[in-house]
Structure 1
Amino acid sequence: MTNHEAWKLYEKYLSAWNTTSIEQRLKIANEVLSENIEYQTARHDLCTGRSQVVEDMATFHERFPGGHFEIGGVSSHHNVALLTWVIIQADGEEFARGGDQITVDRDGKISKITTFAPSAKDPN
């Protein structure tokens, strides 16, 4: 997987986070996430399946009405990519930056996401 391929796949994935349409979220999630995706965040132990990811998308819109995600950077090799995401609030101000490590399966779908959020410039 090239950086460009990882960016395009992640961009589509983030479009599911950015839409307020539940139907569109589910459609995109089905297109880009494997059925048995492994998903782990600071808030969640490792879970399997798309449902937790889609639920977190809804929670994002409750917490950040009018907000969206942007991609801050990408680095990939083989079938793994590390991507930086940026939360932009409704007023256009940056709220936080974090990262996702994604693994892509042979079908070109994301099979694993490990989220690191938010990043800290000074961990003290």
Structure 2
Amino acid sequence: MTNQEAWRLYEKYLTAWNTTSIEERLKSANEILSENIEYQTARHDLSTGRSLVIEDMATFHERFPGGHFEIGDVSSHHNVALLTWVIIQADGKEFARGGDQITVGRNGQIIKIITFAPSVRDPN
């Protein structure tokens, strides 16, 4: 997978996060996420299933009404990519940056996502 391919796939993934339409969210998620996707975040232990990702998308809109995600950067090799996500609030101001590691299956769907919360410069 090239950086350009990873970027395009991740853009589609963020489309699902950014839409407020439940129908569009489900359509996008079903297209790009494996049904048995492995999903891990700071809030969730490693879980399996597209439904948890979709639930988190809805929670995002509850916490950040009018907000959306943008891509900060990408680095990829083989079928794995690291991408920086940026939360933009409704007022246009950046709220936070974090990262996702995605793994893509042979069928082009995302089969694993590990999400990292925003990094800190000094862990003390």
TM-score by length of structure 2 reads: 0.98
Superposed CA deviations along residues 84-107 of structure 1, whole A, max 9, x for unmatched, are: 000000000100000000000000
Matches for 1:21-36 after TM superposition, within 5 Å: 21-36=21-36
The size of the alignment, in residue pairs, is: 124
Counterpart in the other structure of 1:45: 45
Superposed CA deviations along residues 41-85 of structure 1, whole A, max 9, x for unmatched, are: 000001101000000000000000000000000000000000000
TM-score by length of structure 1 reads: 0.98
Tell me by how many angstroms 1:32 deviates: 0.3
Matches for 1:7-22 after TM superposition, within 5 Å: 7-22=7-22
Counterpart in the other structure of 1:82: 82
State the distance in 2 between where 1:47 and 1:58 align. 17
AA aligned to 1:122 is: D
Counterpart in the other structure of 1:66: 66
Percent of aligned positions with the same letter in both sequences?
A: 85
Counterpart in the other structure of 2:119: 119
State the distance in 2 between where 1:122 and 1:23 align. 42
Structure 1: tracts of 5 or more residues without a match: none
Structure 2: tracts of 5 or more residues without a match: none
State the distance in 2 between where 1:26 and 1:84 align. 23
State the distance in 2 between where 1:55 and 1:96 align. 20
State the distance in 1 between where 2:2 and 2:67 align. 29
State the distance in 2 between where 1:78 and 1:96 align. 28
Tell me by how many angstroms 1:120 deviates: 1.6
State the distance in 2 between where 1:27 and 1:121 align. 38
AA aligned to 1:107 is: N
- Runs of 4+ that moved beyond 4 A: none
Matches for 1:98-109 after TM superposition, within 5 Å: 98-109=98-109
AA aligned to 1:23 is: E
Tell me by how many angstroms 1:123 deviates: 2.3
